[in-house]
């Protein structure tokens, strides 16, 4: 079973993905973290987004295990991740890591769940279930603000708007809802309600006959 979750930052992808992973015994990957790892290392090396050859070299050295490290969550790394995500060669390398993850040995898991921007459209177009989470920009900014302990709402909202614009407008695999995705607007939902709705959809539309954990 492959479940794909896409949507902009702050829509609730991560929270819903963790819930579903637990409930349905799925191996999960937050694919944005791969971009963040490359962003963090490129910041540490003092590279700028207009050095694609150097950034590609970094991408070629990372593995899926690198997502388990500190220092990936801040807005500076997020902004840089979005900037390097426009580089097609970098995407190609990170795409391969994601596809390998999606099709690797499942061990004791019942399937995989990946969340990101292009999972349903580019990484796993044949996923069994596709969810597209969204929420209005003010709500998404507020959630980020609370998660990251930032103090300036206007700054966070501006950085998110820039990121949304870049992620949506880039030529290479832009953020988009797959035609066969289920749309879940979480603006007025509590975390619990969003998770329940996603779970209900998956249980009843995609996984009929599959036992949950």
Closest C-alpha among 132, 106, 129, 115 to residue 203: 129
Q: Does 127 bind ligand DC (CB under 6 A)?
A: no
Q: Which stretch binds ligand DC (CB under 6 A): 20-28, 47-55, 79-87, 200-208?
A: 79-87
Round to whole Å and give the CA distance between 59 and 50. 15
Binding string, residues 153-192; x marks residues near ligand DC by CB under 6 A:
----------x---x-------------------------
- Tell the smallest beta-carbon distance from residue 163 to ligand DC (Å): 5
Cβ contacts of 199 within 8 Å, gap of 6 or more: 19, 20, 23
CA-CA-CA-CA torsion sign (165, 123, 141, 66): negative
Collapse the DSSP code of 115 into the 3-class scheme (helix H, G, I; strand E, B; otherwise coil) and give the result: strand
Burial of residue 165 (number of CB atoms within 10 Å: 0-12, 13-18, 19+): exposed
Going by C-alpha positions, the residue among 113, 105, 104, 101 that lies closest to residue 22 is 113
Which lies closer to ligand DC via its Cβ, residue 43 or residue 210? 43
Q: Does 78 bind ligand DC (CB under 6 A)?
A: yes
Structure-token pair, residue 1: 């079973």
Judged by beta carbon, residue 148 or residue 212, the one nearer ligand DC is 148
* Total chain residues near ligand DC (CB under 6 A): 15
130 scored as a contact of ligand DC (CB under 6 A)? no
Other C-beta atoms lying within 10 Å of the C-beta of residue 99: 14
- Using CB under 6 A as the binding rule, whether residue 12 contacts ligand DC is answered as no
Q: Any contact of residue 118 with ligand DC (CB under 6 A)? A: yes
Nearer to ligand DC among residue 165 and residue 212 (C-beta): 165
Q: Least distance in Å: CB of 87 to ligand DC?
A: 10
Binding site for ligand DC (CB under 6 A): 9, 31-32, 35-36, 78, 81-82, 85, 116-119, 163, 167
């Amino acid at each position: 079973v492959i479940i794909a979750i896409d949507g902009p930052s702050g829509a609730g992808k991560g929270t819903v993905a963790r819930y579903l992973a637990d409930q349905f015994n799925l191996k999960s990957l937050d694919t944005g973290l791969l971009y963040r790892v490359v962003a963090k290392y490129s910041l540490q090396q003092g590279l700028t987004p207009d050095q694609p050859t150097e950034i590609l070299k970094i991408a070629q050295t990372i593995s899926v295990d690198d997502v388990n490290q500190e220092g990936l969550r801040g807005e500076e790394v997020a902004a840089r991740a979005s900037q390097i995500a426009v580089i097609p060669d970098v995407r190609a390398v990170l795409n391969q890591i994601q596809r390998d993850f999606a099709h690797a040995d499942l061990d004791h898991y019942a399937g995989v769940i990946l969340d990101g921007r292009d999972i349903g459209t580019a990484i796993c177009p044949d996923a069994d279930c596709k969810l597209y989470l969204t929420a209005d920009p003010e709500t998404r900014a507020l959630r980020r603000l609370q998660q990251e302990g930032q103090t300036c709402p206007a700054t966070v909202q501006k950085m998110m708007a820039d990121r949304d614009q870049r992620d949506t407008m880039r030529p290479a695999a832009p953020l988009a809802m797959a035609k066969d995705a289920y749309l879940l607007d979480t603006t007025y939902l509590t975390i619990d309600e969003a998770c329940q709705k996603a779970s209900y959809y998956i249980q009843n539309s995609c996984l009929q006959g599959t036992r949950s954990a």
